[in-house]
Chains A and B, each alone.
Chain A
């Protein structure tokens, strides 16, 4: 694994890479180990200096830090700040890091104490609202998805290593779904955020006849008003749209708008 790599005859430096996790399921990191067929090739491309979930050795100097998870406790702000200091490039890995992910679903309750009590009763437990990384540090690159798609990560890491600019698709999942020749899920009676969600997953869920829940956040110029009309046409109510828009945090502002329209969402709890 130590041979000199080159690209078009130009020698490449294997970047030192660290993987870190804040509040998360750690599934995005595991997706990298789920790259069985290409794992050894991938490992050849980078020098992993920190990957707590997979190795005991730890190093604190790295070129690229991949950070999974959202910030939900004060000590995670300090950890994240430290990682930012050590890294040349900080990558938000997965929807929790990019948008808060499913963790931010607890933010929709007005009373944070109720949230704590519902799970821990009177036992004291420290937490705060779930935040994406960018609320505290500069994020150089975002890799969307819950989970991230391993092929996309490999492509992005390869681009980083050879010094290419990383571009995300601007069009929505709908485009990829059509290219895969799927029957439109609306026609099958399944609600879907494919028309407004950023592509790049190759219509992962919709190709499996599961409607898109928007884990990758909005596409450029996503037309939410039109989505609402489509949903309405096919007989889906506001709650069905909201469930999907608020699930991963990427559509947080749109979800807020819909909640405001509904004036008093049943999901919001008042202080008792």
Chain B
């Protein structure tokens, strides 16, 4: 049996941004197993220097085309923390609802458009529109619901318009929220059908012991702010994010990399779920069990399943949030902002993992220093380690080049990397 393999994937498809995979196995021995990030850097942290605080969320939301809402909210939280502003309960609920709807749309986009084609033997979602029309229609329905909700709450699904420091420029119509509530309830069968579909997918049998980092929930499954936790037992405060991320540069990556207790760690839906499983809604927990996902799970391919579980989580929690919002009269959408000298951190769980924005302001509210630590940059070193382990595991099996290539591609896709975001 020939135990040699050459895999060279230039600009991996069905991911956001530009990354390369190369694996070389000679006579069962791994000679090379690489994950490279070649994306062009954009220098957002430099762009902001000298800018008035109101520029930060507006510009930094544009780091990412998928999770622009998450970036905007992390940026707003960092500014508010620096200025000592506490959002009203109404603002906090609306922001979380908006965040949930971005999570839903992003996860559905990834699960159905980017990941599912691999499991269904297709190169993209396009042929699936013919072969599995009901699956594509279901994905489009769920995504449309989430995007419509983002439009109604944030003003726009991409690069939101209403989200500002202090609150919102304007509030949604209550009737519109009620409609979203009904559509959310009606979407539950679609989510259950999604779980049935993913149950049929052959998740590759691979696992590597990994440290998982996320926000730590106290009473609810966490998305915006709070303590930081890792499965290796590290606990940090939000403002101490640097001690949790330890960014460094390395050859082969235009993105920065991170490490904590080990050479690498993972963030994302799987990390959140591994750290906060008991805080999931009972139904989401049941679906997680149904799909064979129990904490702590070390199979990176299970990140797809974790995303699906989170779709159920955010859908059900959004219904609760809308009930709360509809149960009280609207308060002022926005509170006044008084800039002051200081620094602030905003940690937000965006679809691909924990995101941090940090700003330091002078007394006029001008940015002196900006720092953004992106989920995918935190994942890059872990993706690299996984590819090495994957190559070693399969080096002995005599799999065909194309099989190993597909497994490696699926592995990277499971992280749902946002590469351009990681090289912001």
Contact = CB atoms under 8 A, between A and B. Distances in A.
A102 B48 CA distance: 11
A115 to B, nearest CB: 5
A27 B66 contact: yes
Interface stretch (B88-96, B124-132, B284-292, B338-346): B124-132
**What interface size band does chain B fall in?**
35 or more
Interface string A197-240: 00000001100111001000000000000000000000000011
Most chain B beta-carbon neighbours within 10 Å: one of A29, A52, A240 = A52
Contact of B40 (A23, A26, A27, A52): A23
A102 B62 contact: yes
Contact of A33 (B13, B109, B159): B109
A36 B142 CA distance: 9
Interface stretch (B50-58, B207-215, B396-404): B50-58
A34 interface: yes
Contacts of B42: 23, 72, 102-103, 106, 130
A37 B169 contact: no
B346 to A, nearest CB: 19
B50 A52 contact: no
Interface string B136-166: 1000110110010000000111110110100
A193 B43 CA distance: 25
Given A56-B124, A119-B43, A204-B156, A25 B420 contact: yes
A169 interface: no
Given A22-B40, A27-B159, A57 B169 contact: no
A25 B41 contact: no
A147 interface: yes
B68 interface: yes
A76 B52 CA distance: 32
A192 B55 CA distance: 14
A28 interface: yes
B63 interface: yes
Interface residues of A, number: 63
A52 B59 contact: no
A238 to B, nearest CB: 12
B126 A43 contact: yes
A26 B17 contact: yes
A240 B157 CA distance: 26
B249 interface: yes
A127 B41 contact: yes
Contacts of A26: 16-17, 65-66, 420
A33 B113 contact: yes
A208 B156 contact: yes
Contact of B129 (A23, A40, A147, A208): A40
Nearest to B162: A208
A103 B44 CA distance: 8
A56 B109 CA distance: 16
Nearest to B58: A213
Interface in A163-217: 204-205, 208-210, 213
Most chain A beta-carbon neighbours within 10 Å: one of B15, B65, B144, B164 = B65
Contact of B65 (A30, A130, A243): A30
B65 A106 contact: no
B420 A24 contact: yes
A252 to B, nearest CB: 15
Nearest to A215: B159
A1 B129 contact: yes
Contacts of B162: 208-210
Nearest to B65: A27
B64 interface: yes
B343 to A, nearest CB: 16
Contact of A36 (B15, B147, B366): B147
Most chain B beta-carbon neighbours within 10 Å: one of A21, A30, A76 = A30
B126 A55 contact: yes
A269 B49 CA distance: 10
Given A37-B144, A39-B140, A127-B43, A54 B124 contact: yes
B314 to A, nearest CB: 18
A73 B54 CA distance: 29
Contacts of B366: 266
Contacts of A8: none
Nearest to B106: A30
A118 B49 contact: yes
A53 B16 contact: yes
Contacts of B66: 26-27, 30
Given A125-B41, A127-B43, A55 B156 contact: no
5 contacts: A23-B42, A26-B420, A34-B147, A53-B15, A239-B52
